[in-house]
Amino acid sequence: MPTYLGMPPFPKAARDAVADRRLRANLAHATGTIRDRRLAAVAELDDWAALREAGRRIKDHTLEHLDHYLRLLEERVTEAGGVVHWARDADEANRIVVDLVKATGQTEVVKVKSMATQEIGLNEALAADGVTAHETDLAELIVQLGDDRPSHILVPAIHRNRAEIRDLFRRRMPGAPPDLSDEPAELAEAARRHLRAKFLSARVAVSGVNFAVAETGTLVVLESEGNGRMCLTLPETLISVMGIEKVLPAWRDLEVFLQLLPRSSTAERMNPYTSTWTGVTPGDGPGDFHLVLLDNGRTATLADEVGRQALRCIRCSACLNVCPVYARAGGHAYGSPYPGPIGAILSPQIRGIGSPVDASLPYASSLCGACFEACPVAIDLPEVLVHLRARAVENGPRHPLVDTAMAAAGWTLRSPGRLALAQRVASSSRRLVGRRGRIRRLPGPLRAWTDTRDAPVPPPESFRAWWRRTDGGRRP
């Protein structure tokens, strides 16, 4: 998965985002609203905890027998008239899709919102080969028209308010009325008109997959707007890209996930539209169906027994909406299509902890545990975050200051005289105290520490000095 070009590590990106008051207001409103709604939707089912536990068990079981279920899925999709392709990485997946599109002779495709195709940068790969991809989900369209990046798994344009969307449509959407207002209904109507012609003329569609049932070869897509149904049923060729972890053993398992996913993501009892299809159906829908099974770091994630649980994720985004860090930093700060707590554990695993961005992501959390509480498949996000912090320290790029600071600390602690001196210097640093009694920025090379946190104020007197002065507390 590519890191967003030029994206700084989380601390720097978050610092900029936190300073953007409009962004913070948009995010606070959106995450607060959906958080409350989700609690109500979940409270309606008195067996929610049991459903969540079943979801966790089914996903863990599937991962434990992933080879078996992938082979079965391939067999059943093929029997039903689909063609299965395998891709080790993003480049391979993009090559497969680009070649399939080119074989149809088409230069345009319509797309259903899909995290997997965001992850592999499919739109860019198609563009490089002269194929225009049209995002048809309203939020993805807003992101695409703005040459922007998605900032939320479920609501990619969550960072935009209605006035920004109106300005964008007026400027960039062909045929948008010049007097378009910022009423959500009017904006949606403009998008409907804009996309309808595309749906009715498109010959090729690309989708993601929410679930794939190995036992029956059935693919499942959940959505709200009907753009998914348009893409899945009107074109002649359908290409679906799915991460290999999306497979489920049996048809019956959908009874768990069709209850867990809508309530966790959009806080609805059921999303407006769910489509399922098994291969091709003569006379109804695409005559040509391709399924691309994507690894792209997933087997590497599977190999880590603690981190593996991230592959249970059903992309509901509940963890984003409850996360105090996400609510302030926003999705872009995570430098990946997967933002929020799940992004902080998924991105470093599927990309590897090689870059400063990925090494910083396990720290993009207060470890408050709200994400674990909200997760419908019980991914222990704090556990994985701490585990990945250890891996980042062992394997990730290390700030040169860390080595210097540790060497200096060792040197200081080896001599009582040097320690006493250091403590006196530290106490005198109290004049650096900023607002609310915290040090917001240390001078010189120590600034790297306070770039991401405020430092506590050293006590006016060290313990050793106090002990000497009061004879161990016997003198006042």
Partner 1 sequence: MSGAREDILGRVERILGTRPTSAAEAYAAIERPYRRRHHDDGILELFAERVADYRATVRRVTEAGLPDAVADALTGSRHGVPPGLPAAWLAATPPSRLVHDPAVADLDGLDGVVTGCAVAIAETGTIVLDHGPAQGVRALGLVPDRHLVVVAAGQVAADVPEALERLDPARPLTFVSGPSATSDIELNRVEGVHGPRVLHVLLVVDG
Amino acid making up residue 154: L
Contact status: 285 vs partner 1 (CB under 8 A):
yes
Site string for partner 1, 196-235 (x = CB under 8 A): x--xx------------x--x-x-----xxxx-xx-xxx-
- The minimum distance between CB 16 and partner 1, in angstroms, equals 23
CA neighbours closer than 13 Å in the CB half-sphere of residue 64: 6
Mention every residue, 6+ apart, whose C-beta is less than 8 A from residue 31. 158, 320, 321, 322, 326, 327
The pairing of strands 108-111 and 288-294 is unpaired
- The minimum distance between CB 250 and partner 1, in angstroms, equals 7
Q: What is the DSSP string of 249-275?
A: S-GGGHHHHHHHHHHHHT-SSS-SEEE
The pairing of strands 211-213 and 218-223 is antiparallel
Interface residue with partner 1, options 258, 401, 422, 457 (CB under 8 A): 258
| Nearer to partner 1 among residue 17 and residue 230 (C-beta) | 230
Interface residue with partner 1, options 192, 203, 328, 387 (CB under 8 A): 192
**If binding means CB under 8 A, how many residues of this protein chain bind partner 1?**
94
End-to-end CA distance of the chain: 63
Interface residue with partner 1, options 14, 42, 241, 302 (CB under 8 A): 302
Q: Are the C-beta atoms of 218 and 276 separated by less than 8 Å?
A: yes
Contact status: 450 vs partner 1 (CB under 8 A):
no
d(CA 167, CA 164): 5
- The minimum distance between CB 131 and partner 1, in angstroms, equals 20
Instruction: Write out the binding residues for partner 1, residues 50-109 only, by CB under 8 A.
Output: 50-51, 53-54, 57-58, 61, 64-71, 80, 85-88, 92, 96
- The minimum distance between CB 449 and partner 1, in angstroms, equals 38
Cα 323 to chain centroid, rounded: 12
Residue 100 DSSP SS3: helix
Quote the DSSP letter at residue 453.
S
Amino acid making up residue 332: H
Instruction: Write out the binding residues for partner 1, residues 146-165 only, by CB under 8 A.
Output: 155, 157, 161-162, 165
Q: Is 153 left (phi over 0), alpha (psi -120 to 50) or beta?
A: alpha
- The minimum distance between CB 68 and partner 1, in angstroms, equals 4
Contact status: 45 vs partner 1 (CB under 8 A):
yes
Contact status: 281 vs partner 1 (CB under 8 A):
yes
| Nearer to partner 1 among residue 137 and residue 380 (C-beta) | 137
Q: Identify which range of 23-31, 386-394, 414-422, 437-445 contacts partner 1 by CB under 8 A.
A: 23-31
d(CA 88, CA 111): 22
- The minimum distance between CB 61 and partner 1, in angstroms, equals 6
Contact status: 352 vs partner 1 (CB under 8 A):
no
d(CA 121, CA 2): 7
- The minimum distance between CB 158 and partner 1, in angstroms, equals 8
Interface residue with partner 1, options 283, 456, 472, 473 (CB under 8 A): 283
Degrees (nearest 5) of the Cα angle 294, 340, 450?
125
Contact status: 269 vs partner 1 (CB under 8 A):
yes
Instruction: Write out the binding residues for partner 1, residues 359-418 only, by CB under 8 A.
Output: none
d(CA 22, CA 183): 19
Interface residue with partner 1, options 185, 444, 472, 474 (CB under 8 A): 185
Interface residue with partner 1, options 27, 109, 254, 314 (CB under 8 A): 254
d(CA 473, CA 311): 55
